[in-house]
Amino acid sequence: MSGHLKREPAGIPHIDRTNTMHTDILINATPYENRIALVEKDTLLEFHIERPAEKGLVGNIYKGRVVRVLPGMQAAFVDIGLERTGFLYVDDVHVNQSKMEKQMAVQDHGCNGQPQFNTVEPDTMVDNGGDHPAIEELLQEGQEILVQISKEPIGTKGARLTCHITLPCRNLVFMPLTDHIGISRKICDEEVRQNLRDKIEQLRPQGTGFIVRTVAEHINSAELEADMEFLLLLWDDIRSTASRSKVPSLVYKDLDMVFRSVRDLFTENVRELIIDSKSVHKELLSFIETFAPHLKEKITLYDEPSPLFESYGIEVDINRALDKKVWLRSGGYIIIETTEALSVIDVNTGRYVGKNDLAETIFKTNMEAVKEIAYQLRLRNIGGIIIIDFIDMDSAQHKEELYNTFQEAMQADKSRVNILKLSEFGLVQMTRKRSCQSLDQMMCEPCLYCGGDGKIKSQRSICYEIFRKISRDALNIGGKNITIKVHPRVADMLLREESVHVERLEQETNKRFTIIPVPDIHIKRYEIIWNE
């Protein structure tokens, strides 16, 4: 799947395809869905999607109430106003409870800090260390508490919560009540690390904590001070809001995905950021003027008739990222299957028969699969426990080389991973940190036709696919009326939950829509008829 050459869209003249290595950020922004693609050397590396109807929650801060303390699990359930209570583990509770209660009394609702959101790269983390008090000594049922979501609700599980509240900015991550200075591990020069540490030490208020992010490697004191002042004012505002808020309630809402991508992914190493929405483009220019004005010239508005993601071949890559089977260039393939407990990847030789002997054929297939697996894990955002079943190899040298190659291939992944060596059965066991839903979970839902054994595109994904096709063809096809024949469930969503977007699209295309439910049609099928 990786390495697909993208067609050069007209009207974007400064995409230099002769460059040996470059990174572009493509943003498809609509009122109903934002999609972000990170493309490196014409290969889709990361794909992120956010829908207002299914808004991501990681990074949001809530004032909640402890509803149940579980000594046997050393955890607690906290009501923060969502459909399911959040889960708070003892290690994520502020240890100095008396200090916290005192601060709550003076309307200082802050807790400890720990970097969160998948864009806070492998920075130096705070080690709480020592023995923790038991959960029942820290929390009581009915107690009010300030928490931040560290992991999205997934499946039947509620959100993972933490009291170690953190506030990320472009160059710094602020930890309000942690006396700690951390430097991104990706900054390797010891002189630079010490210089940054000295700058933070001079600027930070006593008792606060900051982590310097990778993008700030060559930043000056004035820029650090500006970021620090912004974060301190933001924390004061959060505390003030928390003191006035009821329980449970949302106290602070993190930036939406478009602006987070600019804040966290848009660096000097990115050659260009291309966005297809005029209104969001204007907002982005204003946003970047505050955080990184020197990058303003790299932001381009895409206004060609052909949709942005289609022009760059992203739509094809997204659809392939939902497939269970991924073909390798040699003719072998891998199968990716995910359950609630773990994900399993199986490697097969497929059509590849090799040239010399069986051992060499197996080794080459496994080595090719290693790089594709590392790519797919990042693209699909597969997290949790992962089991990889490589084709059995007898050579100890081949096994060691395979393991080392896999370790190297996973180094580009920003998520924290832990990989064990091949077992005697040829299995690799690994974990990859999961903070949000995978691409499969975001874009698919259990199939109505197979009892949940397989998956198809969700009703909302089908609605938005219809929107995109109408937007694409509206300028080229005449007529004032459009008839949309869909499955009754999709029709119901178009007429109810997505009615606002349907009306907006009618206004934008100057056409009238007639939505007709067709009981006999497959749920993922639809028909768009253009009428006079």
Q: What's the CATH code of the domain at 131? A: 2.40.50.140
Question: Where does a domain end: 300, 316, 332?
Answer: 316
Task: Identify whether residues 39 and 85 lie together within a single domain.
Answer: no
Q: Give 157's DSSP letter.
A: B
Q: Does residue 295 form part of some domain?
A: yes
Contacts for 144 with CB less than 8 Å, ≥ 6 apart = 63, 64, 65, 104, 247
CA distance 117 to 516: 42
Residue 8 lies in a domain: no
Q: In sequence order, what are the beta bridge partners of 332?
A: none
Q: What's the gap between Cα 180 and its chain centre?
A: 27
User: How would you write the pLDDT of the chain (532 residues) with one tens digit per residue?
Assistant: 343 333 344 333 333 433 445 789 999 999 999 999 999 888 899 999 988 777 778 889 999 999 999 999 999 999 999 989 999 999 898 654 334 333 333 323 333 333 333 333 333 434 444 456 889 989 999 999 999 998 888 777 889 999 988 999 888 999 987 788 899 888 888 888 998 988 888 888 888 899 998 888 888 888 888 888 889 999 999 999 999 999 999 999 988 889 888 888 888 888 999 999 999 999 999 988 877 888 899 999 999 999 999 999 999 999 989 999 999 988 889 999 988 789 999 999 877 665 667 888 889 999 999 999 999 999 999 999 999 999 988 889 999 999 999 999 998 888 889 999 998 888 999 999 886 788 888 888 877 777 666 778 899 999 999 999 999 998 888 788 999 999 999 999 999 999 999 999 999 999 999 999 999 998 889 999 998 7
| The predicted structure's pLDDT at residue 352 | 64
**Within-domain flag for 72:** yes
Burial class (CB in 10 A: 0-12, 13-18, 19+), 85: buried
**What is the distance, to the nearest Å, from the Cα of residue 409 to the centroid of all Cα atoms in its chain?**
20
3-state SS, residue 257: helix
Q: Are residues 35 and 108 located together in one domain of the fold?
A: no
352/273 same-domain check: no
Residue 16, in any domain of the structure: no
Final residue before a domain boundary, out of 432, 449, 475: 432
The answer as to whether 13 is a domain residue is no
Do residues 81 and 225 share a domain? yes
| DSSP-based three-state secondary structure for 444 | strand
What amino acid is encoded at 381 in this protein? N
Are 421 and 286 within one domain? no
Same domain, 92 and 209: yes
Measured distance CA(451)–CA(156) in Å, rounded:
17
The span from the CA of 219 to the CA of 200, in Å, is: 12
Q: Which residues of 250-270 are buried (b: 16+ CB within 10 A; e: fewer)?
A: ebbebeebbbbbbbbbbeeeb
DSSP per-residue letters across 376-402:
HHHHHT--EEEEEEPPP---HHHHHHH
Write out the two tokens for 327.
């073909």
Is residue 17 in a domain? Answer: no
Furthest-apart CA atoms within the chain: distance in Å? 76
DSSP reduced 3-state for 190: helix
* 102 and 239 part of one domain: yes
Q: Which residues contact 13 (CB under 8 A, 6 or more apart)?
A: none
CA dihedral 427, 436, 165, 167 (to 10 degrees): 110
Residues 269 and 246 in one domain: no
User: Do 143 and 81 fall within a single domain?
Assistant: yes
Instruction: Give me the CATH number covering residue 494.
Output: 3.40.1260.20
Q: Say if 419 falls within a structural domain.
A: yes
User: Number of folded domains in the chain?
Assistant: 4
Q: For residue 280, give the nearest of 11, 511, 36 by alpha carbon.
A: 36
Parent domain of 29: 23-54+258-316
Where among 253, 279, 308 does a domain terminate? 253
Q: Are 96 and 49 found together in one domain?
A: no
Output the domain CATH number for residue 293: 3.30.420.60
Q: Check whether residue 415 and residue 496 sit in a common domain.
A: no
pTM comes to 0.74
Residue 7 inside a domain? The answer is no
Same domain, 310 and 338: no
Half-sphere exposure of 82 (CA within 13 A, CB side): 28
